[in-house]
Protein backbone atom coordinates (compact mmCIF):
# COMPACT_ATOMS: atom_id res chain seq x y z
CA UNK A 1 0.00 0.00 0.00
CA UNK A 2 1.25 3.52 -0.73
CA UNK A 3 1.92 5.75 2.23
CA UNK A 4 -0.52 8.60 1.63
CA UNK A 5 1.44 10.84 3.99
CA UNK A 6 4.00 11.11 1.14
CA UNK A 7 1.37 12.50 -1.26
CA UNK A 8 -0.92 15.47 -1.51
CA UNK A 9 -3.71 16.31 -3.95
CA UNK A 10 -2.30 18.26 -6.87
CA UNK A 11 -3.25 21.94 -6.95
CA UNK A 12 -3.44 21.58 -10.74
CA UNK A 13 -6.56 19.39 -10.59
CA UNK A 14 -9.96 20.68 -9.58
CA UNK A 15 -12.95 18.63 -8.40
CA UNK A 16 -16.13 19.76 -10.13
CA UNK A 17 -19.68 18.42 -10.45
CA UNK A 18 -20.99 18.58 -14.01
CA UNK A 19 -24.73 18.01 -13.96
CA UNK A 20 -24.37 15.67 -10.97
CA UNK A 21 -21.34 13.74 -12.25
CA UNK A 22 -18.02 14.43 -10.52
CA UNK A 23 -14.74 14.90 -12.39
CA UNK A 24 -11.17 15.72 -11.47
CA UNK A 25 -10.25 18.20 -14.19
CA UNK A 26 -6.62 19.07 -15.01
CA UNK A 27 -5.32 22.62 -15.42
CA UNK A 28 -2.00 24.26 -16.27
CA UNK A 29 0.92 21.94 -16.96
CA UNK A 30 -1.27 18.83 -16.86
CA UNK A 31 -3.32 20.14 -19.78
CA UNK A 32 -0.07 20.88 -21.62
CA UNK A 33 0.83 17.22 -21.03
CA UNK A 34 -2.57 16.14 -22.47
CA UNK A 35 -3.80 14.55 -19.26
CA UNK A 36 -7.48 13.63 -19.31
CA UNK A 37 -10.22 14.52 -16.87
CA UNK A 38 -10.88 11.72 -14.35
CA UNK A 39 -14.52 10.71 -13.98
CA UNK A 40 -15.35 9.68 -10.40
CA UNK A 41 -17.97 7.15 -9.38
CA UNK A 42 -19.33 7.14 -5.83
CA UNK A 43 -16.39 5.15 -4.48
CA UNK A 44 -13.83 7.30 -6.25
CA UNK A 45 -15.40 10.44 -4.79
CA UNK A 46 -15.30 8.94 -1.29
CA UNK A 47 -11.62 8.03 -1.70
CA UNK A 48 -10.70 11.49 -3.05
CA UNK A 49 -12.46 13.26 -0.17
CA UNK A 50 -10.81 10.89 2.31
CA UNK A 51 -7.37 11.74 0.90
CA UNK A 52 -8.13 15.47 1.12
CA UNK A 53 -9.16 15.02 4.76
CA UNK A 54 -5.91 13.20 5.60
CA UNK A 55 -7.33 9.70 6.09
CA UNK A 56 -4.57 7.08 6.07
CA UNK A 57 -4.57 4.29 3.51
CA UNK A 58 -5.42 1.57 6.03
CA UNK A 59 -8.54 3.46 7.13
CA UNK A 60 -9.93 4.13 3.64
CA UNK A 61 -11.72 0.74 3.20
CA UNK A 62 -13.72 1.31 6.39
CA UNK A 63 -14.57 4.86 5.26
CA UNK A 64 -15.85 3.48 1.94
CA UNK A 65 -17.93 0.84 3.72
CA UNK A 66 -19.39 3.35 6.19
CA UNK A 67 -20.31 5.93 3.52
CA UNK A 68 -21.85 3.46 1.06
CA UNK A 69 -23.80 1.73 3.86
CA UNK A 70 -25.12 5.12 4.99
CA UNK A 71 -26.29 5.66 1.40
CA UNK A 72 -28.37 2.48 1.61
CA UNK A 73 -26.03 0.13 -0.27
CA UNK A 74 -25.72 -3.43 1.08
CA UNK A 75 -21.98 -3.98 1.65
CA UNK A 76 -22.27 -7.30 3.52
CA UNK A 77 -20.93 -9.35 0.60
CA UNK A 78 -17.92 -7.08 -0.01
CA UNK A 79 -14.78 -7.88 1.98
CA UNK A 80 -12.32 -5.37 3.36
CA UNK A 81 -9.67 -6.92 1.09
CA UNK A 82 -11.79 -6.16 -1.99
CA UNK A 83 -12.34 -2.58 -0.85
CA UNK A 84 -8.63 -2.24 -0.15
CA UNK A 85 -7.75 -3.53 -3.64
CA UNK A 86 -10.20 -1.10 -5.27
CA UNK A 87 -8.77 1.81 -3.29
CA UNK A 88 -5.19 0.77 -4.10
CA UNK A 89 -5.94 0.59 -7.86
CA UNK A 90 -7.70 3.95 -7.88
CA UNK A 91 -5.02 5.73 -5.83
CA UNK A 92 -2.27 4.43 -8.10
CA UNK A 93 -4.19 5.73 -11.12
CA UNK A 94 -4.32 9.15 -9.42
CA UNK A 95 -0.56 9.03 -8.86
CA UNK A 96 0.09 8.04 -12.51
CA UNK A 97 -1.97 10.99 -13.73
CA UNK A 98 -0.32 13.45 -11.31
CA UNK A 99 -3.57 14.07 -9.44
CA UNK A 100 -1.62 12.97 -6.34
CA UNK A 101 1.88 14.41 -6.11
CA UNK A 102 4.89 14.57 -3.86
CA UNK A 103 6.61 17.60 -5.46
CA UNK A 104 6.50 21.00 -3.81
CA UNK A 105 6.46 24.19 -5.83
CA UNK A 106 8.67 27.18 -5.16
CA UNK A 107 6.89 30.50 -5.26
CA UNK A 108 9.02 33.46 -6.29
CA UNK A 109 8.63 36.88 -7.83
CA UNK A 110 9.29 38.30 -11.24
CA UNK A 111 11.16 41.59 -11.37
CA UNK A 112 8.46 43.42 -13.32
CA UNK A 113 9.17 46.68 -15.05
CA UNK A 114 7.07 49.80 -15.23
CA UNK A 115 4.88 49.96 -18.32
CA UNK A 116 5.54 53.69 -18.50
CA UNK A 117 3.40 56.23 -20.34
CA UNK A 118 0.91 54.98 -22.90
CA UNK A 119 1.17 55.99 -26.54
CA UNK A 120 -0.72 54.14 -29.27
CA UNK A 121 0.73 53.85 -32.76
CA UNK A 122 -2.35 51.94 -33.92
CA UNK A 123 -5.68 50.66 -32.60
CA UNK A 124 -7.53 47.47 -33.47
CA UNK A 125 -11.04 46.18 -32.80
CA UNK A 126 -10.96 42.39 -32.35
CA UNK A 127 -13.85 40.39 -30.96
CA UNK A 128 -15.41 43.51 -29.49
CA UNK A 129 -12.20 44.44 -27.63
CA UNK A 130 -10.25 47.59 -28.47
CA UNK A 131 -6.51 47.00 -28.62
CA UNK A 132 -3.91 49.76 -28.43
CA UNK A 133 -0.55 49.05 -30.07
CA UNK A 134 2.73 50.76 -29.21
CA UNK A 135 5.53 49.89 -31.64
CA UNK A 136 6.41 49.48 -35.30
CA UNK A 137 3.35 48.27 -37.23
CA UNK A 138 5.61 46.83 -39.95
CA UNK A 139 6.32 44.00 -37.49
CA UNK A 140 2.66 42.95 -37.45
CA UNK A 141 0.96 40.32 -39.58
CA UNK A 142 -0.93 41.86 -42.50
CA UNK A 143 -4.21 40.24 -41.39
CA UNK A 144 -4.43 42.67 -38.47
CA UNK A 145 -5.04 45.49 -40.95
CA UNK A 146 -8.58 44.13 -41.46
CA UNK A 147 -9.25 44.91 -37.78
CA UNK A 148 -7.55 48.31 -37.62
CA UNK A 149 -9.64 51.32 -36.57
CA UNK A 150 -9.02 55.03 -36.33
CA UNK A 151 -7.54 55.86 -32.93
CA UNK A 152 -10.26 58.43 -32.28
CA UNK A 153 -12.81 55.59 -32.49
CA UNK A 154 -11.26 53.60 -29.65
CA UNK A 155 -14.10 52.91 -27.20
CA UNK A 156 -12.83 50.13 -24.98
CA UNK A 157 -13.88 49.73 -21.37
CA UNK A 158 -10.37 49.69 -19.92
CA UNK A 159 -8.31 52.34 -18.14
CA UNK A 160 -5.58 52.55 -20.80
CA UNK A 161 -5.90 55.69 -22.92
CA UNK A 162 -3.62 57.92 -24.96
CA UNK A 163 -3.46 61.59 -25.76
CA UNK A 164 -6.01 61.19 -28.56
CA UNK A 165 -8.63 59.94 -26.13
CA UNK A 166 -8.49 56.34 -27.37
CA UNK A 167 -9.50 54.04 -24.52
CA UNK A 168 -8.52 50.40 -24.93
CA UNK A 169 -9.19 47.07 -23.25
CA UNK A 170 -5.65 45.80 -23.78
CA UNK A 171 -2.33 47.48 -24.60
CA UNK A 172 0.25 45.71 -26.78
CA UNK A 173 3.71 47.17 -26.36
CA UNK A 174 6.82 46.12 -28.31
CA UNK A 175 10.08 46.36 -26.42
CA UNK A 176 13.66 45.58 -27.52
CA UNK A 177 15.39 42.42 -26.34
CA UNK A 178 17.82 44.46 -24.28
CA UNK A 179 14.88 45.42 -22.00
CA UNK A 180 13.97 41.80 -21.29
CA UNK A 181 13.86 41.44 -17.50
CA UNK A 182 15.41 38.66 -15.49
CA UNK A 183 12.86 36.56 -13.65
CA UNK A 184 12.52 33.48 -11.50
CA UNK A 185 8.75 33.23 -11.31
CA UNK A 186 6.59 30.27 -10.30
CA UNK A 187 6.49 27.89 -13.29
CA UNK A 188 3.01 26.88 -14.43
CA UNK A 189 3.68 25.16 -17.78
CA UNK A 190 6.79 23.72 -19.37
CA UNK A 191 6.80 22.35 -22.94
CA UNK A 192 9.31 22.34 -25.77
CA UNK A 193 7.72 25.46 -27.27
CA UNK A 194 6.52 27.37 -24.21
CA UNK A 195 7.49 28.05 -20.63
CA UNK A 196 4.85 29.90 -18.61
CA UNK A 197 5.43 31.58 -15.26
CA UNK A 198 3.34 33.62 -12.84
CA UNK A 199 4.61 36.19 -10.41
CA UNK A 200 4.01 39.72 -9.29
CA UNK A 201 0.76 40.22 -11.18
CA UNK A 202 2.13 39.03 -14.56
CA UNK A 203 1.89 35.89 -16.66
CA UNK A 204 5.28 35.52 -18.34
CA UNK A 205 5.85 33.40 -21.45
CA UNK A 206 9.23 32.43 -22.84
CA UNK A 207 9.62 30.62 -26.16
CA UNK A 208 12.68 28.32 -26.28
CA UNK A 209 12.28 27.55 -30.00
CA UNK A 210 11.78 31.16 -31.16
CA UNK A 211 14.47 33.29 -32.74
CA UNK A 212 12.81 36.72 -32.60
CA UNK A 213 10.09 36.88 -29.93
CA UNK A 214 11.89 35.51 -26.88
CA UNK A 215 9.51 36.58 -24.13
CA UNK A 216 6.18 38.25 -23.59
CA UNK A 217 4.25 39.04 -20.46
CA UNK A 218 0.67 40.07 -19.74
CA UNK A 219 -0.88 41.34 -16.54
CA UNK A 220 -3.13 38.76 -14.91
CA UNK A 221 -6.14 41.00 -15.58
CA UNK A 222 -5.20 41.10 -19.27
CA UNK A 223 -4.96 44.88 -19.57
CA UNK A 224 -1.27 45.32 -20.50
CA UNK A 225 1.05 43.09 -22.54
CA UNK A 226 4.72 43.54 -23.45
CA UNK A 227 6.66 41.70 -26.16
CA UNK A 228 10.44 41.45 -26.05
CA UNK A 229 11.30 41.20 -29.70
CA UNK A 230 14.17 41.86 -32.09
CA UNK A 231 11.95 44.12 -34.27
CA UNK A 232 12.58 42.24 -37.48
CA UNK A 233 9.91 42.57 -40.16
CA UNK A 234 10.78 39.28 -41.89
CA UNK A 235 7.95 36.70 -42.25
CA UNK A 236 9.32 34.30 -39.61
CA UNK A 237 9.58 37.10 -37.06
CA UNK A 238 6.10 38.41 -37.82
CA UNK A 239 4.67 34.90 -37.38
CA UNK A 240 6.29 34.49 -33.97
CA UNK A 241 4.93 37.84 -32.84
CA UNK A 242 1.49 37.12 -34.31
CA UNK A 243 1.07 34.00 -32.16
CA UNK A 244 2.45 35.78 -29.12
CA UNK A 245 -0.25 38.41 -29.63
CA UNK A 246 -2.85 35.66 -29.75
CA UNK A 247 -1.71 34.26 -26.40
CA UNK A 248 -2.14 37.56 -24.57
CA UNK A 249 -5.33 38.51 -26.44
CA UNK A 250 -7.02 35.35 -25.17
CA UNK A 251 -6.23 36.43 -21.59
CA UNK A 252 -8.08 39.71 -22.11
CA UNK A 253 -10.92 38.03 -24.01
CA UNK A 254 -11.44 35.55 -21.19
CA UNK A 255 -11.59 38.37 -18.65
CA UNK A 256 -14.32 39.94 -20.81
CA UNK A 257 -16.37 36.73 -21.03
CA UNK A 258 -15.20 35.50 -24.45
CA UNK A 259 -13.68 32.08 -24.98
CA UNK A 260 -11.83 30.49 -27.90
CA UNK A 261 -12.78 27.08 -29.28
CA UNK A 262 -10.40 25.02 -31.41
CA UNK A 263 -12.86 24.57 -34.25
CA UNK A 264 -13.65 25.28 -37.88
CA UNK A 265 -16.80 27.24 -38.68
CA UNK A 266 -19.18 28.04 -41.51
CA UNK A 267 -22.21 30.30 -41.87
CA UNK A 268 -25.51 28.63 -42.72
CA UNK A 269 -28.63 30.75 -43.19
CA UNK A 270 -27.35 33.50 -40.92
CA UNK A 271 -26.04 31.24 -38.14
CA UNK A 272 -22.56 29.97 -37.31
CA UNK A 273 -22.00 26.23 -37.19
CA UNK A 274 -18.84 25.26 -35.30
CA UNK A 275 -17.17 21.87 -35.71
CA UNK A 276 -14.80 20.85 -32.92
CA UNK A 277 -12.48 17.92 -32.54
CA UNK A 278 -8.97 16.82 -31.87
CA UNK A 279 -6.39 17.38 -34.57
CA UNK A 280 -6.98 14.97 -37.42
CA UNK A 281 -10.70 14.37 -36.78
CA UNK A 282 -11.71 16.21 -39.95
CA UNK A 283 -12.83 19.72 -38.97
CA UNK A 284 -11.46 21.31 -42.14
CA UNK A 285 -12.59 18.41 -44.30
CA UNK A 286 -16.13 18.60 -42.96
CA UNK A 287 -16.50 22.36 -43.45
CA UNK A 288 -15.03 21.98 -46.96
CA UNK A 289 -17.83 19.49 -47.78
CA UNK A 290 -20.42 22.03 -46.63
CA UNK A 291 -18.75 24.76 -48.68
CA UNK A 292 -18.59 22.62 -51.83
CA UNK A 293 -22.01 20.95 -51.57
CA UNK A 294 -24.17 23.74 -50.16
CA UNK A 295 -22.21 26.93 -50.86
CA UNK A 296 -21.90 27.85 -47.18
CA UNK A 297 -19.30 30.59 -46.60
CA UNK A 298 -16.39 29.95 -44.26
CA UNK A 299 -16.00 31.94 -41.03
CA UNK A 300 -12.76 30.63 -39.48
CA UNK A 301 -10.65 27.64 -40.37
CA UNK A 302 -9.21 26.81 -36.96
CA UNK A 303 -10.17 29.06 -34.03
CA UNK A 304 -13.48 30.62 -33.03
CA UNK A 305 -13.92 33.24 -30.34
CA UNK A 306 -17.34 32.94 -28.75
CA UNK A 307 -19.32 34.89 -26.19
CA UNK A 308 -22.85 35.25 -24.83
CA UNK A 309 -24.83 38.48 -25.09
CA UNK A 310 -28.38 38.70 -23.71
CA UNK A 311 -28.75 34.94 -23.79
CA UNK A 312 -27.50 34.57 -27.37
CA UNK A 313 -24.18 32.91 -28.21
CA UNK A 314 -22.05 34.65 -30.84
CA UNK A 315 -18.86 33.93 -32.71
CA UNK A 316 -16.63 36.97 -33.22
CA UNK A 317 -14.21 37.55 -36.07
CA UNK A 318 -10.53 37.26 -35.15
CA UNK A 319 -7.39 37.15 -37.33
CA UNK A 320 -5.97 33.96 -35.82
CA UNK A 321 -6.97 30.92 -37.86
CA UNK A 322 -4.11 28.41 -37.68
CA UNK A 323 -2.58 27.82 -41.09
CA UNK A 324 -5.94 27.87 -42.90
CA UNK A 325 -5.86 31.53 -43.93
CA UNK A 326 -9.65 31.57 -43.36
CA UNK A 327 -11.02 34.26 -41.06
CA UNK A 328 -13.59 37.06 -41.01
CA UNK A 329 -14.31 40.23 -39.07
CA UNK A 330 -18.00 39.35 -38.72
CA UNK A 331 -20.02 38.74 -35.58
CA UNK A 332 -22.50 35.89 -36.14
CA UNK A 333 -24.99 34.15 -33.78
CA UNK A 334 -24.14 30.52 -33.07
CA UNK A 335 -26.64 27.87 -34.13
CA UNK A 336 -24.77 24.75 -33.05
CA UNK A 337 -21.44 23.45 -31.81
CA UNK A 338 -20.79 19.96 -33.12
CA UNK A 339 -18.21 17.61 -31.62
CA UNK A 340 -16.70 15.43 -34.33
CA UNK A 341 -15.75 11.80 -33.84
CA UNK A 342 -14.40 9.48 -36.51
CA UNK A 343 -16.62 6.45 -37.12
CA UNK A 344 -17.54 3.86 -39.74
CA UNK A 345 -20.91 5.49 -40.47
CA UNK A 346 -22.54 8.90 -40.16
CA UNK A 347 -25.01 9.75 -37.40
CA UNK A 348 -25.84 12.65 -35.09
CA UNK A 349 -26.42 12.27 -31.36
CA UNK A 350 -26.90 14.54 -28.38
CA UNK A 351 -24.25 14.11 -25.65
CA UNK A 352 -25.29 14.02 -22.01
CA UNK A 353 -25.17 17.47 -20.33
CA UNK A 354 -22.07 16.65 -18.26
CA UNK A 355 -20.27 15.15 -21.26
CA UNK A 356 -21.18 18.13 -23.44
CA UNK A 357 -19.92 20.60 -20.85
CA UNK A 358 -16.64 18.75 -20.36
CA UNK A 359 -15.98 18.10 -24.06
CA UNK A 360 -16.62 21.71 -25.04
CA UNK A 361 -14.36 22.95 -22.23
CA UNK A 362 -11.64 20.55 -23.39
CA UNK A 363 -11.82 22.01 -26.91
CA UNK A 364 -11.16 25.53 -25.60
CA UNK A 365 -7.73 27.08 -25.90
CA UNK A 366 -8.55 29.95 -23.58
CA UNK A 367 -6.13 29.89 -20.64
CA UNK A 368 -6.43 27.09 -18.08
CA UNK A 369 -3.25 28.14 -16.31
CA UNK A 370 -4.76 27.98 -12.83
CA UNK A 371 -7.94 26.70 -11.25
CA UNK A 372 -9.86 30.03 -11.36
CA UNK A 373 -9.21 30.34 -15.12
CA UNK A 374 -10.14 26.70 -15.75
CA UNK A 375 -13.32 27.27 -13.74
CA UNK A 376 -14.20 30.23 -15.99
CA UNK A 377 -13.90 27.97 -19.06
CA UNK A 378 -15.93 25.19 -17.45
CA UNK A 379 -18.68 27.55 -16.29
CA UNK A 380 -18.88 29.11 -19.74
CA UNK A 381 -19.12 25.68 -21.41
CA UNK A 382 -22.08 24.94 -19.14
CA UNK A 383 -23.83 28.21 -19.99
CA UNK A 384 -23.36 27.59 -23.72
CA UNK A 385 -25.80 24.68 -23.49
CA UNK A 386 -28.59 27.15 -22.69
CA UNK A 387 -27.73 29.32 -25.71
CA UNK A 388 -27.08 26.90 -28.59
CA UNK A 389 -27.24 23.24 -29.48
CA UNK A 390 -24.31 21.00 -28.52
CA UNK A 391 -24.23 17.95 -30.82
CA UNK A 392 -21.99 14.99 -31.54
CA UNK A 393 -21.39 13.84 -35.12
CA UNK A 394 -19.89 10.39 -35.58
CA UNK A 395 -18.74 10.48 -39.16
CA UNK A 396 -16.68 9.21 -42.03
CA UNK A 397 -14.44 11.41 -44.17
CA UNK A 398 -17.03 11.55 -46.94
CA UNK A 399 -19.49 14.14 -48.28
CA UNK A 400 -22.33 12.02 -46.86
CA UNK A 401 -21.31 13.22 -43.39
CA UNK A 402 -22.17 16.80 -44.32
CA UNK A 403 -25.48 15.68 -45.84
CA UNK A 404 -26.43 13.83 -42.63
CA UNK A 405 -25.48 16.83 -40.51
CA UNK A 406 -27.42 19.27 -42.69
CA UNK A 407 -30.51 17.04 -42.67
CA UNK A 408 -30.44 16.95 -38.88
CA UNK A 409 -30.05 20.71 -38.60
CA UNK A 410 -32.89 21.38 -41.04
CA UNK A 411 -35.12 18.88 -39.24
CA UNK A 412 -34.73 20.25 -35.72
CA UNK A 413 -34.67 23.91 -36.87
CA UNK A 414 -31.52 24.73 -34.94
CA UNK A 415 -31.31 28.40 -34.00
CA UNK A 416 -34.19 29.13 -36.32
CA UNK A 417 -32.28 27.61 -39.24
CA UNK A 418 -34.47 25.94 -41.83
CA UNK A 419 -33.73 24.62 -45.28
CA UNK A 420 -35.68 27.42 -46.92
CA UNK A 421 -34.83 30.24 -44.45
CA gap 358, 14 in Å, rounded? 13
Res 420: pLDDT = 39
All CATH 3.90.228.20 domain ranges in the chain, comma separated: 258-416
Q: Which of 180-184, 193-197, 245-249, 292-296 has the lowest mean pLDDT?
A: 180-184
CA gap 249, 142 in Å, rounded? 17
CA gap 90, 56 in Å, rounded? 15
For range 219-224, the mean pLDDT: 95
SS3 sequence, 357-418?
Answer: HHHHHHCECCCCCCHHHHHHHHHHHHHHCCCCEEEEEEECCCHHHHHHHHHHHHHHCHHHCC
* pLDDT band (50, 70, 90) for residue 12: confident
pLDDT above 90 for 13: yes
Q: Give per-residue pLDDT as tens, 281-305.
A: 789 999 999 999 999 999 999 999 9
Residue 39, sorted as left (phi over 0), alpha (psi -120 to 50) or beta, turns out to be beta
Q: Give per-residue pLDDT as tens, 112-169.
A: 333 344 568 999 999 999 999 999 898 999 999 999 998 765 555 555 555 455 689 9
Q: Give per-residue pLDDT as tens, 351-377.
A: 999 999 999 999 999 999 999 999 999
Determine what percent of the chain is predicted with pLDDT higher than 70: 89
For range 255-272, the mean pLDDT: 96
In Å, what is the CA distance from 342 to each residue of 71, 251, 323, 345, 406? 40, 32, 22, 9, 17
What is the CATH T-level fold of the domain 258-416, as seen in this structure?
Phosphoenolpyruvate Carboxykinase; domain 3 (3.90.228)
Res 213: pLDDT = 95
Q: Give per-residue pLDDT as tens, 366-412.
A: 999 999 999 999 999 999 999 999 999 999 999 999 999 999 999 87
Q: Any idea what the Cα angle at residue 221 is, between residues 203 and 195, rounded to 5°?
A: 15
Amino acid sequence: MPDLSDYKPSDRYMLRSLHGTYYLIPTGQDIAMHRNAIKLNDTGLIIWNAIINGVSMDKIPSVIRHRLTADGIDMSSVSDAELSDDAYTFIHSLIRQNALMTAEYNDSRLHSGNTGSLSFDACYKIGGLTIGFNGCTDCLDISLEDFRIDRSNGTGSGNNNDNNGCTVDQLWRLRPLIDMPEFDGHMIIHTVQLELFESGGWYVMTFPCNRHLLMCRVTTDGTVAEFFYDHRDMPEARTELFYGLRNVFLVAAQQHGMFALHSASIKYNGYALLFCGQSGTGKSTHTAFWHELFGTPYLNGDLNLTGIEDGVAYVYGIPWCGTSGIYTTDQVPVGAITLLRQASDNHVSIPSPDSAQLLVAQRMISPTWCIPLADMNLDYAGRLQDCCHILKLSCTASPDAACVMKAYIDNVRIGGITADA
